[in-house]
Structure formats: structure tokens, C-alpha cells
């Protein structure tokens, strides 16, 4: 056998090995090629998986670092922001300083300029000093729906938190109503000057939201905790409490962990085990300075099954039968 033929056979063999290691083929009549999914129990890292094949949703959180009129006038920055939102089925955003009510309206128009069907809900402006800040949820109407009647801000009559969290109740579209994953998101940001003290009340926030009358046990706290996963205080001591991001920096220059998604894994069994950060420099080919123009934080995310309890055929209480949330406040 000539050396040239041997080399050709080795080349074909290596190529075949790589192809079948990374792809599978469905059928022959309508040939479709998929990249194999990553392991179900791993942190993916700082680049998002390309596809999820319709059986999961991706929930994220992003501190947008003063998203207001000044930032909204930066066309390139806002285009990157829009591309970030489109990566998620639901994205909780913190640090919105939009005194101009048109900022978010223009932002959603930019997000949907590609033909997508996103919408948003925002809480009232909060804070003890100016500028006040808002929380918001941006969500893909094709994959999830929100009960706008059950959107509320956690009451805080004793002013224990600078910016009480915004609570939203969601349901996945697609599966039958009784089988669809329903979940509550608690959008929060700890004040940097009082973060340790404020984190001491988050266990109360978790319990109050979980027990607010809607009988929803899938409660996910997400946002800027100003702490790594070892500094969560009483919240981290609740049995079953799980963090999506562990030991991974979440700021733009990769020096500190600040952001996370936290939930009780004994009840939120829909979590697939896949989570990570979105590195803006790698994902969008930015320099550090360009990334900092977008935010000094990275988006963080976790992936969940579209089926209640992670299994098709599981039943739950339909959302329309849930009671209105009770007035709640931390201790």
C-alpha cells in the first residue's frame, strides 16, 4: 500500500471518528445533523450551548450596570444587549436606571427587530437615594408566559433591603397546562454597601415567596448577591439549597463571583445540571474595555426541563387556580 493511500485512509478515519463523536444522524429521508449535547451534570463554562432541542428552557440573570438613557444611546452597546437577551427564554435584569420610560420600550423593539417575540415586565423604581433603580424580566413569548396579575415587589416596611426583590410567576408554553413547568423568579440585587447584612434576610425572602399563597414550590432567587457561593449566610444553610454557579467569577474582568441562581433542588427537580456564565469577550469578540461598556457583570444562567418535575406526564396545580399572593415582607 502506497504511503499516499495510507495517509488518505488515516485522514478519512480520523474525520469519521470526529464526526460521529460530535454529531448524530436522524433518519435518511430527511437527513438532519445535531451536535451531541454536553453532559447533563456539568457547568458548561463561559460560552452558551448552541441548541437545546426544545425540551429545556434557559433562565438567566444579568446586572446591566446602569441601563438608562445614556447607555441606550450607544447603538453598538444596545445591539449587544439585545443579542444577550435573545439567548434566554427568561432574563432577569438588574440596575435599570431608566427615568425615561421609553428606554425599555425602545430596547424591546431592538430585541424584536430580528422577528423574535419578546416582551418585558418591570417593577417600580426603588432605592433610598437617586438614581432609583428598577428590576425587569425579559421573556420570549414563544416559550414562556407570565401571569402579570401576580407580579409584585416584596413588601419591606422595616426597610431592611435597599431594593426589595421583584417577584414574577411564569409557565412554560408547549406541554399541556397540567404538565408544564411553572416557576417563580425572585429578581434581586444586594446593595454593595450593605450586602452582608442584606443577605442575612434572604432566607426569609425565600420562605415568604414560597409560602405566598400560590402553592408554587419552584422558587428561584437570581441576581446580584455581591457574594460567592460560600458567603450566602442563612440562605445557604436551608436544606437542599443549590447554586447554579460555583467557584466561577461573574464580573467582566474575571476576578470576583457576584451573581447566581439559587433554588431548592429537592423541589426544583427540573434543573438539568447545566449552567454557566456568558463571557461577553469570547461570545461577541470584544476587548475588555468594550465588554465593560456593556456591563461590569457577566450574564449567568441555568437550564431547566419544560416538564414539571423534569418528567413528561407529571401533574401540577394549574396557574389559573392559584390564589393571589399575600402581602409579604422580610422579618
pTM: 0.81
pLDDT digits (tens, 9 = 90+) for 170-217: 999 999 999 999 999 999 999 999 999 999 999 999 999 999 999 999
Residue position matching grid coordinates 432541542: 53
Count of Cβ atoms closer than 10 Å to residue 61 Cβ: 32
CB-count exposure of residue 85 (10 Å: 0-12, 13-18, 19+): buried
Q: Are 176 and 288 in contact (CB under 8 A)?
A: no
Cell output for 8: 488518505
Q: What is the mean pLDDT of the chain?
A: 86
pLDDT score, position 73: 95
Q: Name the pairing type of β-strands 56-68 and 23-26.
A: unpaired
Indicate the CATH number for domain 41-321: 3.60.10.10
Please give the average per-residue pLDDT across 64-82, as a whole number: 96
Say how far apart CA 92 and CA 187 lie, in whole Å.
6
Beta strands per DSSP E along 244-320: 259-264, 271-277, 300-305
Does the pLDDT of residue 19 top 70, yes or no? no
Greatest alpha-carbon pair distance for the chain in Å reads 85
Task: Look at residue 47 and give its three-state secondary structure.
Answer: coil
Does residue 20 register a pLDDT over 60? no
Give me the phi and psi of 207, to 5 degrees please.
Answer: -65, -40
Amino acid at each position: 500500500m502506497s504511503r499516499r493511500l495510507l495517509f488518505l485512509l488515516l485522514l478519512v478515519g480520523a474525520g469519521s471518528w470526529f464526526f460521529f463523536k460530535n454529531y448524530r444522524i436522524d433518519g435518511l429521508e430527511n437527513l438532519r445533523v445535531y451536535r451531541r449535547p454536553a453532559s447533563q451534570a456539568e457547568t458548561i463554562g463561559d460560552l452558551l450551548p448552541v441548541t437545546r432541542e426544545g425540551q429545556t428552557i434557559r433562565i438567566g440573570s444579568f446586572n446591566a450596570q446602569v441601563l438608562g438613557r445614556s447607555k441606550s444611546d450607544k447603538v453598538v452597546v444596545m445591539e449587544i444587549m439585545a443579542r444577550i437577551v435573545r439567548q434566554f427564554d427568561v432574563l432577569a435584569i438588574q440596575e435599570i436606571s431608566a427615568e425615561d420610560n421609553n428606554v425599555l420600550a425602545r430596547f424591546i423593539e431592538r430585541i424584536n427587530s430580528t422577528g423574535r417575540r419578546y416582551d418585558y415586565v418591570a417593577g417600580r423604581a426603588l432605592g433610598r437615594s437617586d438614581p432609583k433603580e428598577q428590576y425587569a424580566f425579559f421573556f420570549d413569548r414563544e416559550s414562556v408566559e407570565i401571569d402579570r396579575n401576580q407580579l409584585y415587589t416584596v413588601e419591606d416596611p422595616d426597610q431592611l433591603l435597599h431594593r426589595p426583590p421583584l417577584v414574577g410567576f411564569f409557565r412554560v408554553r408547549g406541554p399541556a397546562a397540567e404538565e408544564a413547568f411553572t416557576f417563580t423568579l425572585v429578581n434581586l440585587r444586594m446593595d454593595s454597601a450593605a450586602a452582608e447584612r442584606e443577605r442575612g434576610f434572604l432566607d426569609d425572602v425565600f420562605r415568604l415567596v414560597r409560602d405566598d399563597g400560590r402553592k408554587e414550590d419552584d422558587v428561584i432567587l437570581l441576581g446580584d448577591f455581591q457574594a460567592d457561593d460560600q458567603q450566602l449566610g442563612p440562605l445557604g444553610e436551608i436544606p437542599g439549597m443549590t447554586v447554579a454557579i460555583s467557584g466561577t467569577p461573574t464580573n467582566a474582568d474575571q476576578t470576583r463571583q457576584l451573581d447566581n441562581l439559587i433554588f431548592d433542588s429537592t423541589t426544583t427537580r427540573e434543573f438539568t445540571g447545566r449552567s454557566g456564565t456568558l463571557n461577553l469577550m469570547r461570545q461577541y469578540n470584544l476587548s475588555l474595555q468594550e465588554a465593560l461598556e456593556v456591563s461590569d457583570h457577566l450574564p449567568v444562567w441555568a437550564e431547566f426541563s419544560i416538564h414539571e418535575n423534569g418528567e413528561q406526564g407529571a401533574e401540577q396545580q394549574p396557574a389559573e387556580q392559584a390564589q393571589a399572593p399575600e402581602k409579604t415582607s422580610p422579618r
